[in-house]
Structure 1
Amino acid sequence: MSLLQSALHEKHFVCVMEFVPKPSAERFAAMEAIMARAHLCGWPMTVAIGDRVGSPLDLSPLDALSSFSSPVPALPHFSGKDRERHHLLAQLQRMDAAGLDQLLLLTGDRLPGHQPGERPVRYLESVAALQIARQACPHWLLGAALNPFKYREEEGGAQYFKAEKKLAAGADFLTLQLGFDASKHQEAMQWMSRQAAPKPMLACLMSLTHGRATMLEHVAGVTVSPSMRDMLEAEAAVSKAYAQARSVDRLALQIIGVKLMGYAGVHLSGIHELKQLLALEQRLEHWQARIHALEQWAPAWAESWQMPGLPAVTFHPPQAAWRQGESQVSATRRETLRYHLLHAFHALLFSRTHWLSKAFGWAVRRPLWNTPRGARWLHGLERCVKRPLLGCDTCGRCRLEDTLYVCPETCPKGLANGPCGGTALNRCEFGDRECIHSVKYRTAKAVRQTAVLSERLIPCIDVETRHRSSWPQWFDASAPRRFSSQPVPRNQPESSPPAVHRQ
């Protein structure tokens, strides 16, 4: 059992140190020095190795792991950006050969250079990746991400619905996206406690300075409010040393806070040198001696965000402050009418039970369409009908019934199961549209189909099925459509799966 598996199993608070692999001997040496400590305030440490964080040309997690001069306990990542099923299966096989059996699966942020309307970039989204990995490696420790730092109902509600899918697909733990809003940390923990089988969660944290806040403005899905920036700027105006000391103090307080909330551990970002870790440890020891309950922690946390002459910091953007449980939005008349019209059309033509559906199914399964020319004609016909109406890209296996007739291909990442973590106030990470999953959320709420958003796990579209008609396959389907992948061969006999305790 790995260090992380053991910590989660025994309910020991754990520190996961983020490492972005770059071809730099100094970076590797610095992380080795950090990991040589083995513990932070007595909490065991492991290293998380990022995947395609900056560029697809970065070192892969497995190449990075082999570049350390001595073995380190590691949680490799897998990012789905510009990836297909076979890429994931290849990584699973390499990991198995190396004796690794834990993985954090992420859809991934926007691939550099990906522009909507140009060459499509496919993203293997985390729900489908979890399905593939869980079937191939049934006893591995698998993690996924959740971003609770959302301040509009549609994007926040859709995040939690997708997180339910991730748990159903096989996630053993969730790692939160980077955030500083303690009320959202508590909100996520309360949500998890209501699940049928709660899983451990890790909070992603970073010491925040004015310079880092400026950098985070370009990181999708991370919220730094104007009042936070004003306070950080006031700190920096005193001195760089003062601002740095305050940021480390806040990080120590935040770690203590999430531990008291019930988080299983922290995913620490932005610690690149041993001296940074030692400074953090010093402040952790200071606060641990003084704070033993959330009631003691809350005023200290609030005070750490105060500066003379400035108003109290708010962690939400000025435009919105949604909290889970609040329900105010509703679909427009156009969105509702669109759903009902498309649902009625689908029932007529694709139900497989109506006489018109049976006739259409008979027609599209004629031998003519199996010929190369016939297949091209049928594909062209489907595309001509569906693209103007739905934005269809003829993926070869239509998922509209499972997505409330909002085509996943209209998402720049092609996500079918729910949103990525990169939205901001319902806007897509690409900035040129509203997130389609916000539209889905409003529609589902209006037509009382929200269960679709949390219960229907939609498999990935394999590259070989794309750009052909989905109609013959639809009518040939006599059993539920499921993903398939072959189990990864094991070098040694399987051991029993780890028992992850509930939080």
Structure 2
Amino acid sequence: MLRTSLNNPDEFTFTYELVAGRGCCGRQIEQLLEFACAAKADGRIKALSVTDNPGGSASLAPVAIGEELLKLGIEPLIHFSLKDKNRSQIVSHIYLYQRLGLRSLLVMGGDFPNSGYCGQARPVFDVDSIQTLQLMREMESGQQPGGCVLSREQPQLRLFKGCVVSPFKATEAEQVWQYVNLLRKVRAGADFIVSQLGFDLRRFEELMLFLQREQIRLPVLANVFIPSLATARAMAAGKVPGVLLAQELTAQMEQEAAAGHSRARLDRAAAMLVRLKRMGCQGVHLGGSALRFEEVSYVLDRFAQWEQASELPDVVCDFSVQNTWSFFCRRENGELTETPLQPGCKSGRAQLPAFSQHLLFSRQTWISKLFGRFCRFCAKGERRATALTLLERTVKRLLFQCRMCGDCTLSHSAFLCPQSGCPKRLTNGPCGGSRFGFCEVHPSRRCFWVRVYECLAPQTTLRSLANQPHLPPKDWALEKTSAWINFFSK
């Protein structure tokens, strides 16, 4: 089992990512299953992960491949993507996976949907990965959504829940938010961690140092992707959300292709595996561009050969993207120390709204108490409620581009509205798709949560952000109603 392997300190775990394409059958699906049969016979790969609409394009649901893998006798690791599921569908899928025996789930937000039938699909993102992990943990403890009681014959829910983090972000704001959300995911019930794919070993080391600093002992699977030259070029050009690839690596691969060194990328991956094991990773999550099992087996053979050697072979496997921010900096004596954070470069923007928030909504000032009485008075009459809602809509649309969700979270995002500012409408922090501080969905716009970071108080720390309680999912029954009335009616 993947759980047993990852929690065994004497074992280095290998998993591999299968990418299901469009259609329910055909040569591509046959190749995936042939790969799975070979992996089962080989025995070194403990689980095969199955993607869920990768790149935002509709493809075969992961449960289909997951069932096939169970029949073959190898454990599936199902990607549990949230971009296409509301909270009811999430609960339904959890029940489905429990019935089928699919216990290992990798929880992630997922890529923004691409254009499909009759144009652009509407993204869901009803809940984020933190809220989903919390939901799963509550269901494991016996609590059911909506307070319903299941019959005693229902077996106890038991999941192995993974979360994702990217240590490869280019700017301070992006990287701090990644670690903030990692701490929240761990508290929400994650059982293991999988990194975003990257090629900068220094950043893998930073992730392990960060976990050590925070005394987090969850097993870590480092994501090692083996790109083809075409895929590397696409990554370097920013065509894969959230992925940074150094131009030096692309140039190296072009030289290797010209010289006919077809196995150079495999040797580079094997050298990365050895380095990652020595850093303290509990395993590696492998992936690649149309790799055959024979190539993956070659990588594992090389790893087994080189991990026993006192010195690594002369294979360059560390490619850093230039001009990026690092969480740790190295002093002249070689000692690593934390880089001082510099949030709040535009903190003055939030001072007046924050003062108004305290004055009107703290429930402590006499003005707040008086305003609360006024809101409750308006709520008792339809015309008064309509007039107050119109006033709120006018004020907040002018100041905050408000969408009138009725469940306002402005004070948790430096008085920037995630409903209008973030394409995924995330209320607890960013996704992993930003690149050099710019949005995954609208590359010409700066990431909403980068802008939030710039508006925080200058004394804000990573730990103070992580210690803020994460917001629950929005109650969409309140949409288009007055958040002022709803706040004082609780």
TM-score interval (norm. to shorter): 0.7 to 0.9
One-letter amino acid of the counterpart of residue 177, structure 1: Q
Which residue in the other structure is 2:422 paired with? 411
Measure the CA separation in 2 of the matches of 1:67 and 1:376. Answer: 56
Task: Please say if residues 274 and 307 of structure 2, whose CA atoms lie closer than 8 Å, have aligned partners that are also in contact.
Answer: yes
Change (3 A) 1:76 1:197: same
Which residue in the other structure is 2:324 paired with? 320
Measure the CA separation in 1 of the matches of 2:385 and 2:292. Answer: 59
Change (3 A) 1:222 1:379: same
Aligned residues: 451
Moved more, 77-86 or 62-71: 62-71
Task: Please say if residues 83 and 110 of structure 2, whose CA atoms lie closer than 8 Å, have aligned partners that are also in contact.
Answer: yes
| 1:335-379 Cα distance to aligned partner (Å, 9 max, x none) | 2222221111001111112122122212222364674x7665544
Establish whether residue 134 from structure 1 lines up as the match of residue 132 from structure 2: no
Which residue in the other structure is 1:70 paired with? 72
Which residue in the other structure is 2:487 paired with? 474
Which residue in the other structure is 1:16 paired with? 15
One-letter amino acid of the counterpart of residue 203, structure 2: K
Give unpaired runs (5+ residues) of structure 2. 142-157, 329-337
Moved more, 272-281 or 320-329: 320-329
Change (3 A) 1:445 1:425: farther
Change (3 A) 1:363 1:452: farther
Query: What secondary structure, in the 3-state scheme, does the structure 2 residue paired with 1:10 have?
Result: coil
Task: Please say if residues 80 and 108 of structure 2, whose CA atoms lie closer than 8 Å, have aligned partners that are also in contact.
Answer: yes
One-letter amino acid of the counterpart of residue 85, structure 1: R
| 1:405-455 Cα distance to aligned partner (Å, 9 max, x none) | 232221111112112111122112121322222233333351436545212
Task: Please say if residues 41 and 281 of structure 1, whose CA atoms lie closer than 8 Å, have aligned partners that are also in contact.
Answer: no
| 1:220-241 Cα distance to aligned partner (Å, 9 max, x none) | 11111222222222222222xx
Establish whether residue 195 from structure 1 lines up as the match of residue 214 from structure 2: yes
Task: Please say if residues 441 and 450 of structure 1, whose CA atoms lie closer than 8 Å, have aligned partners that are also in contact.
Answer: no
Task: Please say if residues 112 and 123 of structure 2, whose CA atoms lie closer than 8 Å, have aligned partners that are also in contact.
Answer: no
Task: Please say if residues 12 and 282 of structure 2, whose CA atoms lie closer than 8 Å, have aligned partners that are also in contact.
Answer: yes
Measure the CA separation in 2 of the matches of 1:463 and 1:20. Answer: 34
Establish whether residue 453 from structure 1 lines up as the match of residue 468 from structure 2: no
Which residue in the other structure is 2:92 paired with? 90
Which residue in the other structure is 2:128 paired with? 125
Query: What secondary structure, in the 3-state scheme, does the structure 2 residue paired with 1:269 have?
Result: strand
Which residue in the other structure is 1:360 paired with? 371
Change (3 A) 1:448 1:368: closer
Establish whether residue 206 from structure 1 lines up as the match of residue 217 from structure 2: no
Measure the CA separation in 1 of the matches of 2:307 and 2:41. Answer: 13
Which residue in the other structure is 2:447 paired with? 435
Change (3 A) 1:404 1:288: same
- 1:160 Cα deviation after fit: 0.8
Task: Please say if residues 105 and 162 of structure 2, whose CA atoms lie closer than 8 Å, have aligned partners that are also in contact.
Answer: yes
Which residue in the other structure is 1:99 paired with? 101
Task: Please say if residues 148 and 156 of structure 1, whose CA atoms lie closer than 8 Å, have aligned partners that are also in contact.
Answer: yes
Measure the CA separation in 2 of the matches of 1:402 and 1:224. Answer: 33
- 1:328 Cα deviation after fit: 5.8
Query: What secondary structure, in the 3-state scheme, does the structure 1 residue paired with 2:214 have?
Result: coil
Measure the CA separation in 2 of the matches of 1:369 and 1:432. Answer: 46
Change (3 A) 1:101 1:389: same
One-letter amino acid of the counterpart of residue 407, structure 1: C
Query: What are the residue-to-residue correspondences of 1:259-274 with 2, within 5 Å?
Result: 259-270=277-288, 272-274=291-293
- 1:122 Cα deviation after fit: 3.5
Query: What secondary structure, in the 3-state scheme, does the structure 1 residue paired with 2:7 have?
Result: helix
Measure the CA separation in 1 of the matches of 2:381 and 2:37. Answer: 62
Measure the CA separation in 1 of the matches of 2:232 and 2:370. Answer: 60
| Paired-residue identity, % | 28
Change (3 A) 1:331 1:368: closer
- 1:34 Cα deviation after fit: 3.1
Which residue in the other structure is 2:37 paired with? 36
Which residue in the other structure is 1:387 paired with? 397
Change (3 A) 1:465 1:14: farther
Give unpaired runs (5+ residues) of structure 1. 306-312, 478-503
Query: What are the residue-to-residue correspondences of 1:475-490 with 2, within 5 Å?
Result: 475-477=488-490
- 1:211 Cα deviation after fit: 1.7
Identify the match of residue 246 of structure 2 among 201, 216, 225. Answer: 225
Query: What secondary structure, in the 3-state scheme, does the structure 1 residue paired with 2:183 have?
Result: helix
Moved more, 254-263 or 282-291: 282-291
Query: What secondary structure, in the 3-state scheme, does the structure 2 residue paired with 1:365 have?
Result: helix
| 1:284-305 Cα distance to aligned partner (Å, 9 max, x none) | 23323425xxxx34xx47x425
Establish whether residue 400 from structure 1 lines up as the match of residue 373 from structure 2: no
Change (3 A) 1:159 1:406: same
Which residue in the other structure is 1:483 paired with? none
Change (3 A) 1:449 1:420: same
Measure the CA separation in 1 of the matches of 2:387 and 2:84. Answer: 29
Which residue in the other structure is 1:501 paired with? none
Change (3 A) 1:363 1:328: closer
Establish whether residue 145 from structure 1 lines up as the match of residue 164 from structure 2: yes
Q: Which has the higher contact order (CA 8 A, sep 6+)?
A: 1
One-letter amino acid of the counterpart of residue 136, structure 2: A
Query: What secondary structure, in the 3-state scheme, does the structure 1 residue paired with 2:233 have?
Result: helix
One-letter amino acid of the counterpart of residue 129, structure 1: T
- 1:50 Cα deviation after fit: 1.0
One-letter amino acid of the counterpart of residue 134, structure 1: R
Which residue in the other structure is 2:149 paired with? none
Which residue in the other structure is 2:174 paired with? 155
Change (3 A) 1:278 1:101: closer
- 1:57 Cα deviation after fit: 2.8
Which residue in the other structure is 2:273 paired with? 255
Moved more, 66-75 or 434-443: 66-75
| 1:101-131 Cα distance to aligned partner (Å, 9 max, x none) | 22111011222139xxx99634232111111
Measure the CA separation in 2 of the matches of 1:32 and 1:153. Answer: 42
| 1:460-499 Cα distance to aligned partner (Å, 9 max, x none) | 224433332222221133xxxxxxxxxxxxxxxxxxxxxx
Measure the CA separation in 2 of the matches of 1:89 and 1:232. Answer: 44
Measure the CA separation in 1 of the matches of 2:291 and 2:475. Answer: 39
Task: Please say if residues 146 and 421 of structure 1, whose CA atoms lie closer than 8 Å, have aligned partners that are also in contact.
Answer: yes
Moved more, 203-212 or 448-457: 448-457
Query: What are the residue-to-residue correspondences of 1:239-250 with 2, within 5 Å?
Result: 239=260, 242=261, 244-250=262-268
Measure the CA separation in 1 of the matches of 2:85 and 2:402. Answer: 21
Which residue in the other structure is 1:276 paired with? 295
- 1:186 Cα deviation after fit: 0.4
